[in-house]
C-alpha cells in the first residue's frame, strides 16, 4: 500500500477515479492490522498518512511522530528501508519537524548514492534542497538542485521544480516565469500533479518579492492542501498575499486552515509561522504579542534564528514616511558574515511594503550566494522589526504478517 500511496501522491490532481490519494487511504483504512499485532515503521507510515488525509493533523501527528522516531532509529540499508526514508521525509515535512526532515533527507541522499538508486537519489536531493532552504543555505540548495537536474535530464525530464524554486528565490523574474510555464506544461502532459504545488510555491515567492500580491495567490489552494510537505511553508505565503491584496476573507480562511495543521504539529517553525500569519490579520495590540511569540518560537528551529540579521530579509524593510524624499532612504547596515548569513546589499525578495509607496521599483536580482537566510530567520527579523513598528500593517511579515505485507506492497 505504501507504493500505491506514493503513486497517488505523484499523480495528484490528475488521478483517475479510484487512483486518488483519498481513494488509496480509504482502502488502507479498511485493512487494519490484526488485533495484537505490533506495527512496524511501514505500518506506522501508512497509518499516519491515512489519518492525515482522512482525519487531519490532530489524528495523524502522534502516529507520524512514532513513525519518524522509528525511522531515525532504523539503521537498515535495504531497498525497502530506502522507500521508507522517502515517505518519512514527506511525513516530517507534513508535521513541520525541520530537524528530523533534514536528518532523514541527508540519510536518504547518502544511502541512495551508495546503492546507485537514481530515483531515490533524485527524490532525496529534492527533499534535502528544500530542507536546506529552511536552513537558509541557498548555495547548498542550488548545488542539490543542480545535481538533481542532471539526473532528470539523463532520464528525459527537461523541466524540473528545482531550477524554478532557485530562480524564484533569486528574483530572476523572466527566467522564473518561463520555468514555471515549462514545469506546468510537463506536469500536465505527464500527470505529475505533485509538481504543481511547487509551481504555486515558487510563484508566490517571486510575486511577493516583487510586491505583486494578488498574483502571488495560488492558482488552486488545493495544491497546498494536497501537499502537506509544502503546506507549512506555503500557507503563510498564501495568507500574506491574500491579506495584502485585500482578500481578508480568503486570508482568514487560510489562516484557520493553517492553524488546524500547525497547532497539532506543535513544532517551533509551524507555530512561529502561524503567529506571523495571524499577526497580519490582527489589530496592532494583538499583533505585537503575536510577533513576540513568533520570535521565541522560531528561535528554536534547526536554523539558528538568532544569527545577525542582514538586509536579505524579504519580509521587512524600514517604512519611510510617505512625504519623505527617496534620497533620504537608507538601508540597514549588513551584518557580519557567518555560515548561515552573509552581507548583502539588496535582496531579490524585498518588496514595497507600504501602500503609500506603490511607485517603488522592485529590486534587481542578485547572486543566490549573497543572500543565505532561512525562512525562519527572515520571519524572525520581520517579527522583531514589526513588533516595534508603529503599525503592523505597514510591516511586511514578511510536517498477521500477510496482512502487513499486503499493506506494504499491494496496489499500484
Burial (CB count <10 Å: 0-12, 13-18, 19+), residue 268: buried
What are the tens digits of pLDDT across the range 188-211? 999 999 999 999 999 999 999 999
pLDDT exceeds cutoff 60 at 347? no
Candidates 225, 316, 236; CA nearest to 276 is 236
pLDDT value, residue 179: 96
pLDDT value, residue 174: 97
Q: Are 246 and 240 in contact (CB under 8 A)?
A: no
Percent of the chain's residues with pLDDT above 90? 51
> Which domains does the chain possess?
1-132 (1.25.40)
pLDDT value, residue 301: 87
pLDDT value, residue 354: 32
pLDDT value, residue 291: 93
pLDDT value, residue 163: 92
The Cα 296–Cα 293 span in angstroms is 5
pLDDT value, residue 134: 82
Mean pLDDT confidence for 306-332: 33
pLDDT exceeds cutoff 90 at 322? no
pLDDT exceeds cutoff 90 at 386? no
pLDDT value, residue 225: 76
Higher pLDDT among residues 276 and 220, named by residue: 276
What are the tens digits of pLDDT across the range 288-303? 999 999 999 988 888 6
pLDDT value, residue 88: 94
The Cα 265–Cα 100 span in angstroms is 13
Mean pLDDT confidence for 316-329: 35
pLDDT value, residue 303: 63
pLDDT value, residue 10: 87
Higher pLDDT among residues 251 and 346, named by residue: 251
Determine how many CB atoms are found less than 10 A away from the CB of residue 40.
15
pLDDT exceeds cutoff 70 at 240? yes
pLDDT exceeds cutoff 70 at 400? no
Locus of grid cell 548569513:
341
From residue 354, alpha-carbon distances to 249, 318, 335 in Å are 21, 10, 25
Global confidence as pTM: 0.75
pLDDT exceeds cutoff 80 at 399? no
Mean model confidence pLDDT for the chain:
77
Q: DSSP assignment of 262-297, as one string?
A: HHHH--HHHHHHHHHHHHHHS-HHHHHHHHHHHHHH
CB within 8 A of 195, min separation 6: which ones?
161, 183, 184, 186, 187
What letters, b where the CB count within 10 A reaches 16 and e where it falls short, cover 270-292? bbbbbbbbbbbbbeeeebbebbb
pLDDT exceeds cutoff 90 at 253? yes
Residue 258 banded pLDDT, cuts 50, 70, 90: very high
pLDDT value, residue 75: 84
pLDDT value, residue 367: 39
Lowest mean pLDDT among 55-69, 114-128, 353-367: 353-367
Residue 173's SS3 state is helix
What are the tens digits of pLDDT across the range 96-142? 999 999 999 999 999 999 999 999 999 999 999 999 988 778 899 99
pLDDT value, residue 6: 86
Mean pLDDT confidence for 297-311: 56
Amino acid at each position: 500500500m505504501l507504493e500505491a500511496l506514493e503513486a497517488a501522491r505523484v499523480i495528484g490532481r490528475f488521478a483517475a477515479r479510484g487512483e486518488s490519494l483519498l481513494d488509496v487511504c480509504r482502502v488502507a483504512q479498511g485493512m487494519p492490522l490484526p488485533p495484537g499485532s505490533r506495527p512496524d515503521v511501514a505500518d506506522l507510515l501508512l497509518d499516519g498518512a491515512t489519518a492525515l488525509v482522512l482525519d487531519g493533523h490532530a489524528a495523524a501527528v502522534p502516529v507520524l511522530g512514532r513513525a519518524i522516531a522509528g525511522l531515525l532509529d532504523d539503521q537498515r540499508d535495504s531497498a525497502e528501508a530506502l522507500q521508507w526514508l522517502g515517505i518519512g521525509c514527506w511525513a516530517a515535512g507534513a508535521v513541520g519537524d525541520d530537524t528530523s526532515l533534514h536528518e532523514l533527507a541527508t540519510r536518504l541522499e547518502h544511502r541512495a548514492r551508495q546503492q546507485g538508486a537514481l530515483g531515490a537519489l533524485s527524490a532525496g536531493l529534492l527533499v534535502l534542497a528544500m530542507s536546506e532552504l529552511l536552513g537558509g543555505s541557498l548555495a547548498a540548495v542550488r548545488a542539490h538542485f543542480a545535481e538533481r537536474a542532471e539526473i532528470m535530464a539523463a532520464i528525459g525530464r527537461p523541466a524540473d521544480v528545482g531550477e524554478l524554486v532557485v530562480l524564484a528565490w533569486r528574483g530572476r523574474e523572466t527566467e522564473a516565469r518561463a520555468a514555471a510555464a515549462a514545469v506546468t506544461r510537463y506536469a500536465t502532459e505527464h500527470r505529475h500533479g505533485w509538481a504543481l504545488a511547487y509551481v504555486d510555491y515558487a510563484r508566490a515567492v517571486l510575486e511577493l518579492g516583487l510586491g505583486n500580491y494578488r498574483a502571488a495567490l495560488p492558482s488552486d489552494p488545493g495544491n497546498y492542501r494536497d501537499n502537506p510537505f509544502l503546506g507549512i511553508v506555503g500557507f503563510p505565503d498564501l495568507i500574506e498575499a491574500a491579506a495584502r491584496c485585500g482578500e481578508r476573507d480568503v486570508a482568514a480562511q487560510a489562516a484557520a486552515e493553517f492553524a488546524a495543521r500547525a497547532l497539532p504539529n506543535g513544532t517551533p517553525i509551524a507555530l512561529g509561522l502561524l503567529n506571523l500569519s495571524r499577526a497580519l490579520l490582527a489589530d496592532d495590540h494583538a499583533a505585537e504579542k503575536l510577533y513576540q511569540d513568533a520570535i521565541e518560537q522560531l528561535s528554536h528551529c534547526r536554523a539558528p534564528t538568532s544569527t545577525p540579521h542582514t538586509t536579505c530579509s524579504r519580509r521587512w524593510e524600514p517604512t519611510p514616511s510617505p512625504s519623505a524624499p527617496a534620497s533620504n532612504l537608507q538601508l540597514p547596515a549588513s551584518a557580519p558574515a557567518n555560515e548561515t548569513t552573509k552581507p548583502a546589499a539588496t535582496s531579490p525578495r524585498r518588496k514595497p511594503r507600504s501602500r503609500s509607496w506603490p511607485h517603488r521599483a522592485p529590486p534587481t536580482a542578485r547572486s543566490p550566494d549573497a543572500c543565505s537566510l532561512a525562512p525562519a530567520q527572515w520571519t524572525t527579523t520581520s517579527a522583531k522589526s514589526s513588533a516595534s513598528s508603529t503599525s503592523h500593517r505597514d510591516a511586511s511579515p514578511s510536517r498477521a504478517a500477510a496482512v502487513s505485507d499486503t499493506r506494504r506492497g499491494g496496489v499500484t
